[in-house]
Structure 1
Amino acid sequence: MRNILLVALAAIIAQVPIESKLWISLESGRDYTLTDSIAHRQKRGSNDDPFSALQTQISKLARVVNGITVYNSIIDSSIPIDSIISELLGVGLFKLQDLKSFNKTEVDKAVNKIIGAKISNTTRDIGRQVVNLYKMKEMYQKIGSLASLPTEAAIKDLSSLKGTDVDKIQSISIDPNSPKESLKDLSISIGNVMNIVEEKNIMKTLKDLEPFNQYVRLIELFDDSKLDSLKSKPQPEIAQLKTELDGLSNIQKEPAPLLQLMSSIVGSSFVKREFTSGFLNGYEDLSLLEKDIKDSWVEGIVGNHTSLKELTKLTKLVDPLKELDEKWDSVRSLQLRSSIRKAAMIEDSFGSSKGSGDDVAKIIESFSSSYKIAPAIVLPKIVRDNSEPLIYQMHILNQLKDTLSTQLDTLDAAEIRRVNESLKELRTNPDIASSGKTISDLSSTITGFPTTIANFKEFLEALKGMTILSKETITAVKSAIQMNSIQNDINFTSDINSIANSITDSVGLLTEVDTAIETIKTKPTDENLTQLKELEKHSKSLGYAATIIDMVHKVLEKSSFLLDFVKNGRVVNEKASDLRKSETRVYNVIRANWLNFDKVAQNVSQIVGEVQSWNRLISIPKTDRLEDYGSILEQFSGLEDVDLDAEHRIVAIEALLTTNLDQTVKPTLEVLKASLEKVANLDLSFSKYSISGISDSLVAIQKVFLSTIPTVKVVPKKATTAQKKEEAPVTTTETPPADNGTLILFLEIAGGVLVGVALVVAGFIRIKYGVNIFCAVWRKIKGDKKKPSQVSSTVQPRSQQSGVPQQGRQSSADPPAQRRRAEGQPVRRSRADNQGAERRRNERVEREQDQGHQNQGEQNEQRPGQVPIVQAHVVQPERAPVPQNDEPLAPDELTLDDLDQDVVRDLTPPYRIQPDEQATESEIEELNNYYAQLAADDTLRDEAIPYPRILIRYLRPLVIRQMELNRQANNNR
């Protein structure tokens, strides 16, 4: 009965059209299915935003690749857990053990040390002047040579920026009813102005003025610092400063710097992720991994042969890290962060900078002997105040020219709004024409500047030569200034206590973090992820690419706030100048916190323009090959870093708002402050993330995933003498047999049900085929005397399934073809040869039942000298062998028509093959259509349908080898 059911079951399964795949190894949990990449392509609508699609795809892949690296690093401890947790929380590096042993009492001791060390206002005031000397030294070392200043003729050419076109640009408005006509007029005017700019080389002239403008800033700093008073300081004041600085250097540093730990947790910003670069939003991105590994585009790259299920263990970290972050987030206000940063800097200076008091006294003495009065700054300042806005305006014009010249007919409403915003920025005071004229009129002041500052340069050279005016000495002075500030801050102690209490309350949550880590470390159920260890070499590069794209995306999102900062920021410069004499204290606060606005504004405008251009022009590769994304991602390199310094600028605005301002200015400042608050957490440090080799990294990542794709090799049941000589031995791994009792019992039950269903279906659908099956079953019942068979869960090539030897196989319908095959000659099969396809197919079905059942029985009873049947097994990827003989064939010169079609069909794999690296889109589509036809009607295997080109490449070496073996066998006979 068992034999009847098993044979019937095999017969029924044989006629069911199934999309064949390699089976899942239940022992390892590893899915060896070869994914059809076309089926896994991400479907995108025609209206999708290409930039957003690119960001989504790269971010998903970066999380998966970096997640694999983090997972493996936790398993083998190759990356410190402290670093992983710190980066996922987005804070400075700290040790979990230090956090577990956090002691509020020790924090109180550190705070008392700071408060107990008294620093006088005298030391503070002298210290500020010495710090300004150091700033001047640094500025002078960075200033370019004045030898490159433009000529007087070049400067006078700036007056060419005038006329009707300039006036039109300054006054034109875009008509919302007919914007195309207005934009066309604007495009013509901008083109005419930019022709003048190019003809007169105006951009080079403005760029060559940069060293001049830097000298102007330096002279401004000299004047504002009132350094002339430093050369006449009384000796008692210098002695007091020396004593207080030496006292600081004698304070012992604590072995466990708790204030620095606290600053790392709540005072850090813009943390660079070295080991978790793929998780742009830290622990929050871990929760996305479950969806990421199921994403069709990611699956197409990774392949279904690699299970990423273990990766979801990382999500165990989300909840405990979220609780920690929320606990600490309550003490991350601007005021608290400022307090803890000051405290950490002071704590770090304890016990260092020995002799800093003597060094500062020597600096003051050297300064007094080399002091020179700075030249008058009024006219140079006018040049600076006109040239820097003009550079910015020229940059905006250039952006508008590019936009209008390439997209005039395709601008949508949003882009037209951006054009209007740019025009508003151009209309800031001073305007283009007046700036050009003002600078032109001061050409003699500019060209004579090197002579004007000759004496002052001697003083700057003396500063440059002061080796004791060093960073180490100035650090001690800055600490003293901060200590004086803290002593006058009534909120300092309560601020530190709030932070310390928050950390103390969070220590208990670290137990949950430890538990999550131990859960991840538990023995994996499979080795899928550990086999991808090589990804760690390229994980950081991909993560950095995702980071750059994310930074660019945030610039696009917040571009309106950035441009508000650029447009309104000059108000602070203008109003601060008015307060220079009337409100000295406020002026000093503004000057200290509102630095280099014009340069920063120019860089911000340039970045916004570039990323908006990228957003318009970016495209997604037409193919889904990962390496095709490399050239696109490399476009995002080269952006200049910008430090918005938003927190300090907000301090300057708040100080300015306390003064008596015109009512028209106050709303502008409030908008400016709100804009800066929106971009305060915007990281524009692009150079931190190098993506120069991203193309190579993407290729390498794809190879790592492909390296785990298995191939299937099957050892023939019988080997002829020729085959034994030609074929190299194959190392095999046999899977231990399953519990046959349970399996056979299951098959008996299932078989009984399937036999009944099959008989009904056969009666209505295929009477003839049902009769053939019944006859085959009946013959098998009468002739079967073997032991019960074992059911194999592997897929074998058609030649082995049928039991027909590959060599010498002939078609009874074509005697000439038989003769050509016997002689080892190629045979071209026509459609006429297939008239008996249905009859031959039915005969082969019967043989498959007989031979298949016989083979299964022989697995338990092997005859002496017989070559055993070896189960299909998984090996590392390997190309099919090319035949080697005395008369080598030329496979590259043969087409499929030259090959023996019966041999081809015997060697056709019953599973899907993975498209190779050479595959084109049309070839992949052709392969999919082929498989779709087979899935619809399995009888097409016996028809002369065209073979896909990829399949031909796959089969050619195998078929040529089999034909050669057939020829040699015939010669031996």
Structure 2
Amino acid sequence: MRIKSIISMIILLKIVIFGIITNCVQCEHSNVNNIESLDYSSRRRQFSRAVSSKNNEDPATLFEKLPAVARLVTAIAIINGFSDGSIPADPVIAEFFNVDTAILQQLEKFNKASVDKFVESLNSAAIDSNEDTLKVEQAMINIHEVKMAWKKIGSLSNIPAKSTLDPLSTIASWDLSVLKSFDLISTLHLIDSESPSVLDLKKKLETLTSAVKKLPTPKKMKPFIDLLKKWTPFDQFADIVGLHLGYSSILSYPLTNSKFDSNANAVNNITAVEKSSIILMKDVAVAPFSPANRSFTAGFANGFSDIEKLTSDSKDRWLHSLLEPSVPLSGVKTLTNFGSELRKLDDKWRPVTTENHYHTMKKMSALQNHLEKTMTSKKIKATVDRIKDNCGTGDAEDGLTRKIREGVDNAALLLKTLKAIEFISNTLTNNVVNDFKKLSSNSNSSEIQKIGTMLRSFTRSLKLIEDLQQHLQDRVKGALELKFFHDTKIPSLIAHFNCLKNRPDDTEKIASTVRSIRILRKLKADSSYINNFNEMSSVLSGSSQFIVSLRKTVEEYKKDNSSEVIILKKLNALKDLSKPFGDAIGALVSIKKASSGSELGTFVTNGEYTQEMVPRLGTAELKTQFEKYWGDFEATKQQVDMFRADARYWEKSISIEKNSKLSAYGQMFKDLADFKSIDLELENRLEATEGFNDNKLNPEITQLVAEFRDSLMKLSKLDLDFSRYKSALNIMPDVLKSVDGGFKGKRIALPVIGGGNVSTTTEFAIVVDTNSTLVCTVTVLIIGSILGIIAFLWCWRDQNCIYHKLRRRYAKPTYNMQTAREPEPNTPKPAASHSDPEPRDLWREENNLHSIP
């Protein structure tokens, strides 16, 4: 019986120990599992509107204080890195000014005299702008572009038969006006209101669904979509035919334009300059308008100006309450010495980092690239003559080119619109419509917001359908012009293109020569370009001394043995957290700036007006340029609209109690990971609106385009490529725990998912969440108490338990209890009882080895 009790006790102990270990492991990982189990939409994250509470932190406070945490983390990382030499000076300096590290080395070699000679030769070059000269220039560029484009296509085959286009006439009879009854704008305003009327919303959604049911079904549209897709590849051929028309007439006559000759010779006589010098000047000028990629300085979202905030950050009570650092943070203020030196260089460079300098240096850089591949007018003539003699001019006329272009453009528009109808129909499935019907006053905000997100995705599609229905018959008629791909002149054109493609002539140098002429013409049209260039060269020639001073300042950190700096080494665990944490904070700062400022709205408004007015008031050449580079502005508008809506919903969803730990902020960051980037198409749209400052143009269009370009440049200073922060935002729940632990000097290496702007592995400090620790502790105490009770009961029943042995030996009985084994009270005790027991007898007794009488 005794042996069975012992075995049972051992088994019970094993079960209890296993339970304790399992519970502690679950406590450690409970927060991570809770985060991973959250429900996400398959396409977009839905944010539930937070319940307003006095106990919640004000989001405005979070937007102010969390970047301060990032500043502290990065400052500590940089100071410790400077101190032990693991972080060199140049990469940090380069990141603060958003240039490559090699640029700092080029500053020391910058040759101002050589650059000055270069700009003098530019200024002295005479460039003619006669209309006939411009035509010849365009023809020379077109020859090269046709050759390269045809090489890319290879051939023109599998042209669908004319008869395949006949069914398109059916589309002209479709009624697409049914969608007029649905007002998207008012519906979105209703959804975005503080307390949207569900009844009104259901009526609007019912209007939409009933209208969509009247549109052609996806099944009905499929044959037309498949047909139009077959003609899609011929869009490039239409471009080539249009380019060919631009030079065919030039090839028909000898190239005897003396003004073109003088222009070509002028660019060939420009004094050469080291390419590295121009690259240096360009990189400094464009730095403020380019996305930043930071490895060491990620926590300084606003650049080096954030360093000036470190002193107040280190004293902030809210931050101290949040972080509970194990050491004083006052040592971070020593980085202000480095910041002061950075400020001196910034003061030097700031006057030459304006929009005017940006445009000047972009042109200068492009000019330098083309000047490396120029050709004299004599060689250009010889090359063009060889092409004409061997390949002819190709048989084409303006009418054929226009009809092919018209057919391709209208077919593409029809295809886009049919796909738009298909997209809306496929999105409004029966399940979605049923969800609309189920809406009630009890529906939560996330359900309504989800509908808003879906409707915003219809914006561009509804615009396409609205525009097409107004001119449906004309578009269908225009698409039927694709039949001209079977014109008898097409084979002659193809033969010419094939010959040109196989010619060894260096048409690239011809094109580079002409592009050099064009860029120089644009530069000379800007009266400030010489001044901009000279200012830039003067500023850079005197900048190397500032770099030397910055490097010396960094070296001083290695010698700094002050207690406040040395004590920061105890927080060295934060060093590897600076980048992932800083990247996520950078995304937060960018999103908040973009959503709260007026820049996006101004950009959209100016863009819409520009898109409307340029075709009406611009010259033919400017219209062509605009159409070539402008892109799909409706798509950009939709990106902006979706972003602003997501930002509003996200901010309303933030619900974090006051005095929470840093780890409580993880979800608000993870929600940002699904924000979509906004593609401004900066370079293309600057190119599209180049040249509208001509005094000959209508002042209205000149002012309008100038305002658009200004709003575009302002937006370029914001980092709107949120996708590159996705991985950093997704791991923020873990990173925040690690930062919290890092301020207490704890760290552990954890793997990080690669991608975006975050490295593939990072050292993380980690600390167990307070709530998890409490749960684990209480559980262990309960199990321990139960175990103690069981042990006591087991011991109470067993007379051989140590408790009973000690009681029998030391306890003094208050009364006599006779048993069959005890002697009578008057019976004399054996003599041995008057002496202490032998040690051997005690050992036998303790081990239950005494003899049974």
Task: Quickly name the TM-score band, shorter chain normalised.
Answer: 0.5 to 0.7
Structure 1 residue 638: deviation in Å? 6.8
Change in CA separation of 1:56 and 1:178 when aligned onto 2, cut-off 3 Å: closer
Change in CA separation of 1:201 and 1:63 when aligned onto 2, cut-off 3 Å: farther
Structure 1 residue 493: deviation in Å? 2.6
What's the secondary structure of 1:280's corresponding residue? coil
Structure 1 residue 167: deviation in Å? 4.0
Q: What's 2:624 paired with? A: 591
* Alpha-carbon distance between aligned partners in 2 of 1:113 and 1:407, rounded to the nearest angstrom: 75
* Alpha-carbon distance between aligned partners in 2 of 1:61 and 1:954, rounded to the nearest angstrom: 41
What's the secondary structure of 1:279's corresponding residue? coil
Q: Say which structure is richer in helix.
A: 2
* Alpha-carbon distance between aligned partners in 1 of 2:64 and 2:209, rounded to the nearest angstrom: 37
Aligned residue runs from structure 1 range 532-551, under 5 A: 539-551=578-590
Q: What's 1:189 paired with? A: 207
Structure 1 residue 312: deviation in Å? 3.3
Instruction: Tell whether 2:406 aligns with 1:378.
Output: yes
Q: What's 1:567 paired with? A: 608
Structure 1 residue 228: deviation in Å? 1.9
Change in CA separation of 1:630 and 1:113 when aligned onto 2, cut-off 3 Å: same
Structure 1 residue 111: deviation in Å? 1.7
Corresponding residue to 1:112 among 105, 120, 123: 120
Q: What's 2:675 paired with? A: 636
* Alpha-carbon distance between aligned partners in 2 of 1:261 and 1:112, rounded to the nearest angstrom: 19
Change in CA separation of 1:509 and 1:667 when aligned onto 2, cut-off 3 Å: closer
Asked if structure 2 preserves the Cα contact closer than 8 Å seen for 1:387 and 1:439, the reply is no
Asked if structure 1 preserves the Cα contact closer than 8 Å seen for 2:693 and 2:706, the reply is no
Aligned residue runs from structure 1 range 170-249, under 5 A: 180=197, 183-195=201-213, 199-200=217-218, 219=238, 223=242, 226-232=246-252, 234=254, 244=264, 248=268
Change in CA separation of 1:951 and 1:499 when aligned onto 2, cut-off 3 Å: farther
Q: What's 1:699 paired with? A: 734
Aligned residue runs from structure 1 range 469-618, under 5 A: 474-475=511-512, 477-486=514-523, 490-503=527-540, 513-514=550-551, 516-523=553-560, 525=563, 526=565, 539-556=578-595, 557=597, 558-575=599-616, 586-592=619-625, 595-613=628-646, 615-617=648-650
Asked if structure 1 preserves the Cα contact closer than 8 Å seen for 2:325 and 2:743, the reply is no
Change in CA separation of 1:251 and 1:877 when aligned onto 2, cut-off 3 Å: closer
* Alpha-carbon distance between aligned partners in 2 of 1:955 and 1:113, rounded to the nearest angstrom: 93
Q: What do the CA deviations read for 1:780-803 (whole angstroms, capped 9, x no partner)?
A: xxxxxxxxxxxxxxxxxxxxxxxx
Asked if structure 2 preserves the Cα contact closer than 8 Å seen for 1:230 and 1:364, the reply is no
Aligned residue runs from structure 1 range 787-936, under 5 A: 917=768, 921=771, 923=772
Corresponding residue to 2:183 among 158, 169, 183: 169
Change in CA separation of 1:957 and 1:49 when aligned onto 2, cut-off 3 Å: same
Structure 1 residue 270: deviation in Å? 0.7
Identity level (%): 17
Structure 1 residue 915: deviation in Å? 11
Q: What's 2:752 paired with? A: none
Asked if structure 2 preserves the Cα contact closer than 8 Å seen for 1:158 and 1:436, the reply is yes
Q: What do the CA deviations read for 1:722-777 (whole angstroms, capped 9, x no partner)?
A: xxxxxxxxxxxxxxxxxxxxxxxxxxxxxxxxxxxxxxxxxxxxxxxxxxxxxxxx
Change in CA separation of 1:562 and 1:707 when aligned onto 2, cut-off 3 Å: closer
* Alpha-carbon distance between aligned partners in 1 of 2:647 and 2:152, rounded to the nearest angstrom: 32
Query: Structure 2-normalised TM-score?
Result: 0.62
Asked if structure 2 preserves the Cα contact closer than 8 Å seen for 1:250 and 1:351, the reply is no
Instruction: Tell whether 2:301 aligns with 1:280.
Output: yes
Change in CA separation of 1:371 and 1:253 when aligned onto 2, cut-off 3 Å: farther
Q: What's 2:469 paired with? A: 433
* Alpha-carbon distance between aligned partners in 1 of 2:423 and 2:711, rounded to the nearest angstrom: 22
Q: Which runs of 5+ in 1 are unaligned?
A: 1-36, 38-42, 580-585, 712-875, 879-913, 928-946, 961-965
Asked if structure 1 preserves the Cα contact closer than 8 Å seen for 2:125 and 2:266, the reply is no
Higher mean displacement: 204-213 or 506-515: 204-213
Q: What's 1:86 paired with? A: 94
Amino acid at match of 2:673: E
Change in CA separation of 1:185 and 1:573 when aligned onto 2, cut-off 3 Å: farther
Amino acid at match of 1:948: V
Corresponding residue to 1:258 among 277, 297, 303: 277
Q: What do the CA deviations read for 1:797-838 (whole angstroms, capped 9, x no partner)?
A: xxxxxxxxxxxxxxxxxxxxxxxxxxxxxxxxxxxxxxxxxx
* Alpha-carbon distance between aligned partners in 1 of 2:117 and 2:142, rounded to the nearest angstrom: 33
Structure 1 residue 487: deviation in Å? 5.3
Asked if structure 2 preserves the Cα contact closer than 8 Å seen for 1:62 and 1:542, the reply is yes
Asked if structure 2 preserves the Cα contact closer than 8 Å seen for 1:339 and 1:496, the reply is yes
* Alpha-carbon distance between aligned partners in 2 of 1:321 and 1:207, rounded to the nearest angstrom: 60
Change in CA separation of 1:519 and 1:387 when aligned onto 2, cut-off 3 Å: farther
Q: What do the CA deviations read for 1:92-134 (whole angstroms, capped 9, x no partner)?
A: 6564465467564443223234445666669876454444455
Higher mean displacement: 536-545 or 105-114: 536-545
Structure 1 residue 189: deviation in Å? 2.3
Q: What do the CA deviations read for 1:887-926 (whole angstroms, capped 9, x no partner)?
A: xxxxxxxxxxxxxxxxxxxxxxxxxxx9964x584x5677
Asked if structure 2 preserves the Cα contact closer than 8 Å seen for 1:634 and 1:691, the reply is yes
Aligned residues: 690
Asked if structure 2 preserves the Cα contact closer than 8 Å seen for 1:277 and 1:547, the reply is yes
Asked if structure 2 preserves the Cα contact closer than 8 Å seen for 1:74 and 1:520, the reply is yes
What's the secondary structure of 1:659's corresponding residue? coil
* Alpha-carbon distance between aligned partners in 1 of 2:630 and 2:134, rounded to the nearest angstrom: 27
Aligned residue runs from structure 1 range 708-747, under 5 A: none
Higher mean displacement: 104-113 or 645-654: 645-654
Larger relative contact order, structure 1 or 2 (CA cutoff 8 Å, min sep 6):
2
Asked if structure 1 preserves the Cα contact closer than 8 Å seen for 2:345 and 2:546, the reply is yes
Q: What's 2:819 paired with? A: none
Change in CA separation of 1:596 and 1:379 when aligned onto 2, cut-off 3 Å: same
Structure 1 residue 226: deviation in Å? 1.8
What's the secondary structure of 1:226's corresponding residue? helix
* Alpha-carbon distance between aligned partners in 1 of 2:307 and 2:456, rounded to the nearest angstrom: 41
Instruction: Tell whether 2:734 aligns with 1:679.
Output: no
Instruction: Tell whether 2:335 aligns with 1:314.
Output: yes
Amino acid at match of 2:697: T
Asked if structure 1 preserves the Cα contact closer than 8 Å seen for 2:71 and 2:299, the reply is yes
Change in CA separation of 1:312 and 1:203 when aligned onto 2, cut-off 3 Å: farther
Q: What's 1:659 paired with? A: 697
Q: Which runs of 5+ in 2 are unaligned?
A: 1-30, 32-49, 750-764, 791-800, 807-842, 848-853
Amino acid at match of 2:674: Q
* Alpha-carbon distance between aligned partners in 2 of 1:78 and 1:63, rounded to the nearest angstrom: 19
Amino acid at match of 2:624: R
Q: What do the CA deviations read for 1:610-646 (whole angstroms, capped 9, x no partner)?
A: 4523541564586825765674343236766743755
Asked if structure 2 preserves the Cα contact closer than 8 Å seen for 1:363 and 1:469, the reply is no
